[in-house]
Amino acid sequence: MNRPLVVSYTDMMDYGEAWDLQKRMVHDIDAGEQQEHLLLLQHPPTYTIGTQRHPEHLLISEEDRKKKGISVYQIDRGGDITYHGPGQLVAYPIMFLGRGKEIDLHAHLRNVEEVIITYLRSFGIEAGRKEQYTGVWVGNFKICAIGIKFNRSTSYRKDFITSHGFAFNIKSGLQSEGFGGIVPCGIEEFGVTTLEDCTGLVHTTEQVARELVPIFAQQFGFDPVWAAEVHV
């Protein structure tokens, strides 16, 4: 029997609020006070700098960034700098790794990638991985960035609880709106793309979220239970 997974979609949530929410969920899930959860949402325009800490990959001046209303956060996930904004589906799986099973952190990343690869295949898009890089690629263009933190459980010493997750580019125009001000993920030689650019079709983030959930649940062995959107 699969474990239950609470799933929620929130149309827009400030990045700082979402980060605080993840920390609380990690604590509550570890303490057995809450079920594992998949947060699906969009963020206002935001740059996040991961633990690799390369502030030089933020190319836009502070003045121009403020004019565009883009926030900046230095955070505790793995990876370099990336952009979040409207038209991008962000997913934060707050879930156990372990529970009596051998833990392979790299395999977990590959499983997250497989969710997006499987979804894109339903549109006839041949997506895949690129050696030395995490994420999902269509040719030489990244369509989904992945950055995960593995939090050591205090209740189950050999286990982890994941936070942060993946950012799936949906709407056309993200390249000029946000990615143009950074070196995305610190990778200079390749670009980014979106689902709409690849399919020529119009998609909403909520539509994509609902279509992705069954794939995610099957990949990780969950039974999804939809809940109302989360309010901080």
Question: What positions carry a catalytic annotation?
Answer: 185
Is 50 assigned to a binding site? no
Q: Is 84 annotated as a binding residue?
A: yes
Asked if residue 81 belongs to a known ligand binding site, the reply is yes
Question: Is 77 known to sit in a ligand binding site?
Answer: yes
Q: Is 215 annotated as a binding residue?
A: no
9 is in an annotated binding site: no
- Is position 80 annotated in a ligand binding site? yes
Annotation-wise, does 83 bind a ligand?
yes
Instruction: Tell me: is residue 82 an annotated ligand-binding position.
Output: yes
Token pair for 51: 């633990």
Instruction: Report the alpha-carbon distance of residue 182 to residue 188 in Å, rounded.
Output: 10
165 a known binding residue?
yes
Residue list for the binding site? 77-84, 145-147, 165-167
Residue list for the binding site for substrate? 77-84, 145-147, 165-167
